[in-house]
Structure 1
Amino acid sequence: MITLHNLVKTYNAGGIPVTAIDGLNLMINEGEFVCIWGKSGSGKSTLLNLLGLIDSPTSGKITIDGVSTNELTSNECSEFRSRKLGYIFQNFNLIPVLNSVENVMLPLLIKGEPERNARKKARDILEEVGLENELYRLPDNISGGQRQRVAIARALVSDPSIILADEPTANLDSATSLAIVELMKSLNREHGVTFILSTHDQDLVQHASRNIYLRDGKVYPSPIEQVSKNPDLSLIGA
């Protein structure tokens, strides 16, 4: 479903070029649950922004579902995102004056879905993620874990092929983080949607069907997989 060929992203930081993604070659298959992980500054968020067409590469090629995204115009990128991609943010990015149903139905209204249909779809997906009792509460009146469930429902409501989740558990405690990851795994199985999430949390990495370890914008063998093969190895410095 996703192919990256010799992907490079370079930023200008005070006149100094900084390479965030360095010649990346990668394939992600349809229906996978993939975790991209590494230390802060490893290129995780940059990669998700490139996959989400929020940013464009300096060089190289991104192909998603047979479409070379490098060749899309700004309007075509917006249309492609609305059809193919869902995004879950670290800070939830919910609209504070809208309740759970209204937050989730908003992407459908923007696409021109009739309000009645959009509201029903929003209610159905919120019930699926376990928020049947929080449909009409504002974001400030529910917990962080519940807010992230609203954000997951919003990402799913448009039936995307791919969901990108940038550090989706960074602001949650460990028990809630695990519950959120288990929810995403369940939705991955039931909906067949490809999940790609970034994290620095090694405990969560082990719940993915595949983990991709980034360091300095390149893919390296995963320290977690090395340790599983040789328990004497240490993750210190990974």
Structure 2
Amino acid sequence: MPTPDREASLWTLVREDIACVKGRDPAARYALEIALTYPGVHAVLHHRMAHRLWRRGWRFPARLLAWFARLVTNVDIHPGARIGRRFFIDHGAGVVIGETAEIGDDVTLYHGVTLGGTSWSPGKRHPTIGDGVLIGAGAKVLGPITVAAGARVGANSVVVEDVPPAMTVVGIPGRVVRDPRDRRAAGDQTYGRINLEHHLIPDPVGDALALMIDRIAFLEARVGHLQGRVASLQAQVAALDPAAADSVCA
């Protein structure tokens, strides 16, 4: 569950949002540059202000501020969404976060991510994202599901079911393909410094095809071996009785 932002001042939250960028973006240099030039940071700042208005019942000003943020950042965050601390949207383009979405602390989203709904029904319609989750570019997380703490969602995946803690999900629909907790224990991934090694995300379809190719090659070798034994047996029988060799062939 996200940390309610009423527990910290807006200034404290914004400072944390700016500071966390250095740990997750190698291109980030210093705080002033981040504050002035990162649209993802601008979107989060506007959302934090809009969300406070939304909680106080000032719904139209909140929606107006969210609309303005979308206009200038290309990030669409509903003011009702609950977002935890040290939230980073890298590149900040095409991200959509729905009204009932809940985002924990130390979460990283790349461009094109959608935290969307799958129903017209009122109530909880959008995902809950746990602490330390990383969601790759273009991924879609849909419905009132939970992506538990420490999980990773591969780029362009479509996730429609719950994701267990510290798992990696890829594909359409998303499937759990790896448990990276051994690498987290070694310090590769902590909530302070998110693991950004997208190239290490596995390809389950490619792995399955590789296994099938290996199996086919093994079966072809077995068939070739058996054909060789039959030919050898036929030659031995033919040396003794040509008629019997014909029956062996048949």
TM-score (norm 1): 0.27
Instruction: Write 1 or 2 for the structure with the bigger share of strand.
Output: 1
Instruction: Write 1 or 2 for the structure with the bigger share of helix.
Output: 2
TM-score (norm 2): 0.26
Larger Rg: 2
